[in-house]
Amino acid sequence: MMRNPLRWTGCWMPSAGSLGLLGMMTALWPVSAVAQAAAPTEGFGDGPKLVIALIALAWVILAGLKTFSASMRTKGVRLFNWNKVNAVLMVFFLVVFMLFVLWQFLKLMKFTLPISASAHGVELDGMLSVTFWITIAVFILTQVLLFSFALAYRQKEGRKALFYADNHQLEFYWTVVPAIVLTVLVLYGTKVWREITQVQPAKDALKFELFAYQFGWQARYPGADGELGGHDFRLISATNSMGIEETDSAGRDDLLVSEITLPVNRPVLMKLRARDVIHSAYMPHFRVQMNVVPGMPTQFYFTPTVTTKQMQEITGNYNFVYELACNKICGAAHFNMRMKVNVVTDQEYTSWLSKQRYYFRRPEPAQDLLSAR
């Protein structure tokens, strides 16, 4: 009797596949090592390596079994019902994967942001968690259905597949239900976004300006008049890096600061300008982000509600500081674009302000601001 050469090729295929997979895993090994080195504080130890090793081992055993059972079949012995094995493995995969997702959540939760440090951020967080829980529910439901159907409706001896061309009622529901859910989410998002961006700034709002350049930030506060002076990019020079109009009386008492300091519970109007390319002012703890575009001034209006000291207590991290970062990859030293942000009490703010220096290079700190206020 002639052996079917194709069958022999088939026997070897799982082994070739497993070799390929092992090769891929060996190639990916350093990637997982780098990922661990880059992890914020704690790595995952040997966990990922162990998981990869277990998957590889399972693959090798299965491939071996498959080869062995295929060779037995040529002798007329049927060792396994592979349809059933595959279907059961599908459900096994579902359970393991869901446990992995849960483990990831528990493990990585500590890297998520603490409570919002701004008034509008609370509503933004609420919107995100509604979206998140809906997504999680749909994810679990669809995955459980997908994998359990693979088991329930696997090929069986004597069972004929049902030919099912279409079902308009079913199509109607799977189109209309997601459409309604998405419309609700989008309208909810639009409402929150309008509430954040379409508000009239309060009269007593504190104004300050952030100027982005490759690769850093400059921050300017108004002087005693509470108004920022005008600017013109053509005035940018070695001594006037932000291009402020010296002839504008509102700008002559402006202050150049090295850290952003904000009084708690006072509305802030943050004005944004860029010198060269597009940047993005990102203050994650305040849920603040706005593009900073050359030639197109933008702004963001918000109210900080938690002081740095309070946030240190909330997080239990006494080295905690708020931070401004650039959130657009704007060039080679993009990572360098960060600035410290302090949220303090009113008194601390006034005393901090009095120690800042005038933009137009007056030698003494702006002490006279205190008396003017």
Contact positions toward Cu ion, by CB under 5 A?
279, 326, 330, 337
Structure-token match 């995952």, residue found = 44
Helix, strand or coil for residue 250? helix
Tell me, what DSSP letter sits at residue 74? T
Helix, strand or coil for residue 221? strand
In angstroms, what is the minimal distance from the CB of 337 to Cu ion? Answer: 4
Residue 61: CB atoms within 10 Å: 11
Q: Which is nearer to Cu ion, 220 or 279 (CB)?
A: 279
Q: Which is nearer to Cu ion, 295 or 316 (CB)?
A: 295
In angstroms, what is the minimal distance from the CB of 100 to Cu ion? Answer: 36
In angstroms, what is the minimal distance from the CB of 284 to Cu ion? Answer: 15
Q: Which is nearer to Cu ion, 119 or 325 (CB)?
A: 325
Q: Which is nearer to Cu ion, 154 or 275 (CB)?
A: 275
Q: How many helices (H) and strands (E) does the chain have?
A: 9, 11
Q: Which is nearer to Cu ion, 230 or 284 (CB)?
A: 284
List the one residue out of 123, 129, 121 whose CA is nearest residue 343.
Answer: 121
Gap between the Cα atoms of 85 and 143, Å rounded: 19
SS3 content of the chain, % helix, strand, coil (to 5): 50, 15, 30
Q: How many residues does the chain have?
A: 373
In angstroms, what is the minimal distance from the CB of 289 to Cu ion? Answer: 13
Q: Which is nearer to Cu ion, 209 or 253 (CB)?
A: 209
Gap between the Cα atoms of 194 and 188, Å rounded: 10
Q: Which is nearer to Cu ion, 70 or 330 (CB)?
A: 330
In angstroms, what is the minimal distance from the CB of 220 to Cu ion? Answer: 18
Q: Which two tokens stand for residue 173?
A: 């529901």
Residue 82: CB atoms within 10 Å: 15
In angstroms, what is the minimal distance from the CB of 128 to Cu ion? Answer: 25
Gap between the Cα atoms of 250 and 231, Å rounded: 11
Tell me, what DSSP letter sits at residue 294? B
Tell me, what DSSP letter sits at residue 112? S
In angstroms, what is the minimal distance from the CB of 296 to Cu ion? Answer: 15
Q: Which is nearer to Cu ion, 206 or 274 (CB)?
A: 274
In angstroms, what is the minimal distance from the CB of 292 to Cu ion? Answer: 8
Long-range contacts of the stretch 124-132 (C-beta < 8 A, 24+): 124/192, 124/196, 124/287, 125/287, 127/188, 127/189, 127/192, 130/185, 130/188, 131/185
